[in-house]
Amino acid sequence: SNLRQIATEVGVTTATLSELGFSKQALAAQIVEMYGERLQQVNRTSVAHSVNHVDAIVEMSFASARLTHTDMVIRAGSRLLVERDQIGDDLMVPFAGWEARVTRILEDGQDRGDIAADVEPCGAARTIIGFFYGAQTMSLGLVDANKFPRLLGQFWDLILPTLRPQSAQPSGVRR
């Protein structure tokens, strides 16, 4: 990304960025930080409003996916993370924290019986977060904003039977 592309993504002019004294690296770091904060808020809200731990993780993913195509900061942050190696190593990497958070949710879910006992929480969290970021990156180039939620729905259709205990009745995936 160049400064013009970053400015376009966040809805300002390059002159505004220059007047504020932002370098490309400083601006990128700020956008990625804002990106992480916005998605953390979505994740907290999703967990607070979910009935069980499986539904919390599914809702977090769909709420975050919706923002990928509606929120300029989320779009810009997603693109900048793809180009992290070219921008600089000082960019925050939000997925490390989210992997730990999803691992904790899965562990708590196992304790409450929401998650199958044979699921390895850390590996499952890494798979979920890895898929999400890969699909999000793929979706940035798609014209049809509905493709990311459809990809996510297909992913959950495959994964939910593994996460849920045998005794649980599937509640279905909201798309």
The answer, yes or no, to whether residue 9 has pLDDT greater than 90, is: no
The answer, yes or no, to whether residue 171 has pLDDT greater than 60, is: no
Residue 91 main-chain phi, psi, to 5 deg:
-75, 135
Neighbours of 111 (CB within 10 A): 10
Sign of the dihedral through C-alpha 93, 36, 60, 113: positive
DSSP secondary structure letter of residue 6: H
Q: Cβ contacts of residue 77 below 8 Å, gap of 6+?
A: 31, 32, 34, 35, 36
The answer, yes or no, to whether residue 74 has pLDDT greater than 60, is: yes
pLDDT tens string 103-130: 999 999 999 999 999 999 999 999 999 8
Measured distance CA(160)–CA(36) in Å, rounded: 26
Using a cut of 0.85, tell me whether the model's pTM lies above it: no
